[in-house]
């Protein structure tokens, strides 16, 4: 079923729209979130009710939650402060199994622990390729270094890569859960 996106364009499905927006966001810089943030309606979480302009997104950046929030807003969905908690409360999360080939549009998640381990959320674009936003850390950096501004390099920001890359960030694996697309995308979702 066709979907009219927040930008007024018509797409064959919510997935097609999300994928298109994801590609448009590739290269947007990573912007860290801090527990002291008082306004989450802008960068990096983009918990707003309307899709910000591409110029604003490019200028202000986003974190992984902000990236998924923008995809959700683009397809007529909602933004959330914590996707893991929101989806867990709806009882739509499944344990992640790296041997399963999930449908495109699936969200891969790790829950929030603390400011140094803020969890992660990524969008399964095709096959085992994900789209997400993150800052690559060197061996002598921690996430706290980024929050304190001691890291000026926040590459790659929004990017595509094989899920194996980010799943190796934590001992035992980064992703703990998945949410299938029908459980987070509007009912107009249609896989390839």
Per-residue pLDDT reduced to its tens digit, 89-100 = 999 999 999 999
Total domains present in the chain? 1
152 pLDDT band, cuts 50/70/90, is very low
- Residue 154's CATH number: 3.90.1720.10
Residue 165 lies in a domain: yes
| Cα 1–chain centre separation | 24
- pLDDT 10s digits, 18-35: 999 999 999 998 888 776
CA distance 72 to 49: 10
Cβ-proximal residues to 31 (8 Å cutoff; 6+ apart), any chain = 43, 44, 60, 61, 62, 63, 66, 154
Instruction: For residues 184 and 75, give the distance between their C-alpha atoms in angstroms, rounded to a whole number.
Output: 11
- Is the pLDDT assigned to residue 145 strictly greater than 60? no
191 located within any domain:
no
Is residue 28 a part of any domain in this protein?
Answer: yes
Average pLDDT, the chain: 83
pTM: 0.86
What is the separation of C-alpha 15 from the centre of its chain, rounded to a whole number of angstroms?
14
Asked if the structure places residue 190 within a domain, the reply is: no
pLDDT above 90 covers a percentage of the chain that reads 50
* 39 within some domain: yes
Confidence (pLDDT) at 124: 97
Most confidently modeled of 92-106, 116-130, 157-171?
92-106
Evaluate whether residue 21 is within a structural domain: yes
Task: List the domain range (segments joined by +) for residue 124.
Answer: 3-183
24, part of any domain: yes
Asked if the structure places residue 188 within a domain, the reply is no
């Amino acid at each position: 079923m066709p979907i009219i996106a927040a930008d007024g364009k018509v797409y064959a499905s919510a997935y097609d729209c999300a994928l298109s927006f994801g590609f448009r966001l590739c290269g947007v810089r990573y912007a860290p979130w801090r527990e002291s943030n008082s306004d989450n309606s802008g960068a990096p979480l983009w918990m707003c009710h309307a899709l910000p302009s591409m110029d604003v997104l490019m200028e202000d950046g986003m974190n992984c939650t902000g990236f998924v929030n923008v995809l959700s807003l683009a397809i007529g969905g909602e933004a959330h402060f914590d996707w893991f908690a929101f989806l867990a409360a709806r009882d739509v999360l499944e344990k992640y199994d790296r041997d399963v080939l999930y449908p495109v549009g699936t969200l891969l998640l790790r829950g929030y622990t603390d400011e140094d381990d803020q969890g992660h959320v990524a969008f399964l674009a095709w096959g085992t390729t994900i789209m997400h936003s993150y800052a690559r850390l060197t061996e002598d950096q921690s996430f706290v270094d980024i929050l304190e501004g001691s890291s000026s390099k926040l590459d790659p920001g929004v990017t595509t890569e094989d899920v194996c890359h980010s799943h190796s960030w934590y001992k035992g694996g980064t992703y703990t859960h998945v949410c299938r697309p029908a459980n987070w995308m509007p009912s107009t979702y249609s896989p390839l």
